[in-house]
Amino acid sequence: MDKESAVHFNKRTSGFSTQIARFGVFIIFGMMVVFFAVSSPRFFTLGNFLLIIQQASPLGIAVVGMIYVLVVAGIDISIGSTMYFVSVIVAMLTYRYNIITVAMLDNVYGYFIIYFITIAVGIIIGFINGFLTTKFKMLPFIVTLSTLNILRGFGYMISESTIQQVSSLSGFSNSKIGPIPVIFIIFMLIVVIFDFILRRSAFGRHLMAIGNSKISAKTAGININRNIIISYIICGALGALAGVMSAGQIGSVALNFAEGNEFIVISAAVLGGTSLFGGKGTVFPGAIIGILLITTIMNGLAMVNASPYVYTIFRAVIIFLAVMLDSMKYKGDLR
């Protein structure tokens, strides 16, 4: 093969790889949807679609927060434990210490207190992750891996390793306006707000610049540490909010609540177009597409009565595909 032919072949290979990275996941998704539709007549129904968006919305909120961290080339694998820990705190305040009484939840005031506490705790967790990552120059993976175990350990300790009831939150988490779940409306509002911030604000542009090159961002006068800490704070706050809303849907906080959700959230963000290498991300429609892809397949597996072990395998495959496709895109950008 002469030099000109080799160059032409490499370009064709590069283009083919790029197309696989861009559309491969949607082809796989389409094939699985067809399989589920054929296997279960209930899959393609309006009721099931509404169920999917209701199930996807809490994790979708967490995906939005994760996108902000990934954009600056960070990662937060503690988000599942954040969801668990904050949900345990809310359960303890409501049922053990009666600081938030069930009667207070009959009006907006009680929910305002709950979600204020939820977001405040999430902000603290996010700040700790961001502070340790920036001030001590620690790898985000190591920092958030430590936080993951610490938060879940504290959750087990204060709950005395028992299931916590949060059934009083179910009224809000499972409420609807007409046929539309309220939690989905909240998810969409969060998507719109944070998409605008990421795309249109100076803060969003600074995050993108940091993710592309910290050296260039520092040269441009961007406060790198401050912006990275804020991105982790956003992730912590939205992760905490997602956790309490998800717990409200279920009505209880089991010991394995939100376990492994960090991988679903990260995978959904990447499948929606956010790069693990930083500098590239989209809240709309990325967060919506990513979480709906995963939730739809999870729903389909339930419809066909798949073995519980299949869910674990599925999560592993999704993570592998997300990382592989993102790596293919990243290499393509370097050429």
pLDDT in tens, 263-283: 999 999 999 989 999 999 999
Q: Which domains does the chain have, with CATH numbers?
A: 43-327 (1.10.3470)
In 74-193, beta strands by DSSP E: 164-165, 176-177, 180-181
- List, in sequence order, every residue forming a beta bridge with 165; answer none if it has no partner: 252
Q: pLDDT tens digits for 146-203?
A: 999 999 999 999 999 999 988 888 888 999 999 999 999 999 999 999 999 999 999 9
Which residues is 253 bridged to in the sheet?
164
User: Residue 334 pLDDT > 70, yes or no?
Assistant: no
Residues shown for the chain: 335
pLDDT value, residue 322: 81
Q: At what angle do helices 286-303 and 308-334 cross, to 10 degrees?
A: 150
